[in-house]
Amino acid sequence: MRAWMGCVLVVFLAGCANVAPNTAETQAQPAAKPAAVKEANAKMITGRCHCGQVRYEAAAPAVKSSYCDCPGCRKASGALKAPFVTVRKAGFRLTVGEVAQYRAASGERCDAHGVWNFCPKCGSPVFWAGHKGDEVDLFAGTLDDPAWFQLKE
């Protein structure tokens, strides 16, 4: 039994030796992806609602990634901070299904300046579109590849 446990410990320690130290420098680097995945994702950002009835694509690159914690975003997302990936309206389109929309009359920042778009079947918030401007904010949780959500420091 001791010999077996010793082997397990040796294998564990050998595996730990290959792990990078936990530093800010190593944490800031995204995980490597196979070349084919990088190539395919370099042109399109894709995503969907929870049930898949609504799907979208947007031309890459993303404009930015951000969080919004205004009362409208908190209520629409059910989270204290709603994570968004912003894309250009011109490169964005629904590929499957249609969204339902909600215009809130609260007067809160995002409620007053845009409309919430969500899946009519499962209720997932999919994106927010402002009344003005040329951008769409995708809810980061709907992304097929969450690696598109990258905050700039």
Q: Which two tokens stand for residue 131?
A: 């009344």
Q: Assess if residue 15 is contained within a domain.
A: no
Q: Which domain holds residue 134?
A: 41-142
User: Where is pLDDT greater, at 94 or 10?
Assistant: 94
Residue 5 reports pLDDT greater than 60: no
How are the residues of the chain apportioned to helix, strand and coil, as percentages rounded to the nearest 5? 30, 30, 35
Q: Assess if residue 36 is contained within a domain.
A: no
Q: Assess if residue 5 is contained within a domain.
A: no
Which tens digit of pLDDT belongs to each residue from 13-68?
344 333 333 333 333 344 444 444 444 456 899 999 999 999 999 999 999 999 99
Q: Assess if residue 8 is contained within a domain.
A: no
Q: Assess if residue 9 is contained within a domain.
A: no
Q: Assess if residue 19 is contained within a domain.
A: no
Q: What is the pLDDT of residue 53?
A: 98
* Closest to 65 (Cα-Cα) out of 100, 30, 40, 14: 30
Residue 12 reports pLDDT greater than 80: no
pTM above 0.75, yes or no: no
Query: Which element (helix H / strand E) includes 6?
Result: helix 2-17
CATH number reported for the structural domain that contains residue 99 in this entry: 2.170.150.70
Query: What is the number of domains present in the chain?
Result: 1
